[in-house]
Structure 1
Amino acid sequence: MLTGLYKAELIHVKPSMTGESWVVLVQAVTPVRRPSVVDPAKLAYAVHLRDQEDQSISEIVKATGITRSSLYRYLRPVHRRC
């Protein structure tokens, strides 16, 4: 059983044998996700601060206004050598 919002391509609709309800055949059921709310310019600035200015996540949060969880979601980890 599917819960939540889903997008599906309708293939065929036909009445059932009893005529009381409809049978709907669908294809390509995919979940509908919320659009990204992070400003691409702010995200690019966050990448710059991390890579060029060597700032911490806390400093980037203060400078950009992007939440910590969003930064961890959008910024790939950087493996640095000591």
Structure 2
Amino acid sequence: MTVAGLADPAWIPHPSEAAFGFAVVDGGVDLLCSERQPGAPLFSGPLSPEKADTAATKGRSTADWPDMVDEDLVVPRGLAGRRAIGR
């Protein structure tokens, strides 16, 4: 399985997803990083539904995202561009 938006460069997020940087993929909630989101951190990784719910409820900004991502699941993004993430 891959995370939408990272695997497909033509993917455009739903406005509700772009606002918080989340997308529901195969029943999971994932943090998205994109050039469409100025100031977004240069990494991507799974975000638990509980953390996503908290973020959406409190309207947390991209500055808060690094603290919300499970560090052992973070995938660095380098000069190679978008990367597909398997689960």
TM-score range, shorter chain: under 0.3
Max Rg structure: 1
Q: RCO greater where, 1 or 2, for CA within 8 Å and sep 6 or more?
A: 2
The TM-score normalised by the length of structure 2 is: 0.24
The TM-score normalised by the length of structure 1 is: 0.25
Higher strand share: 1
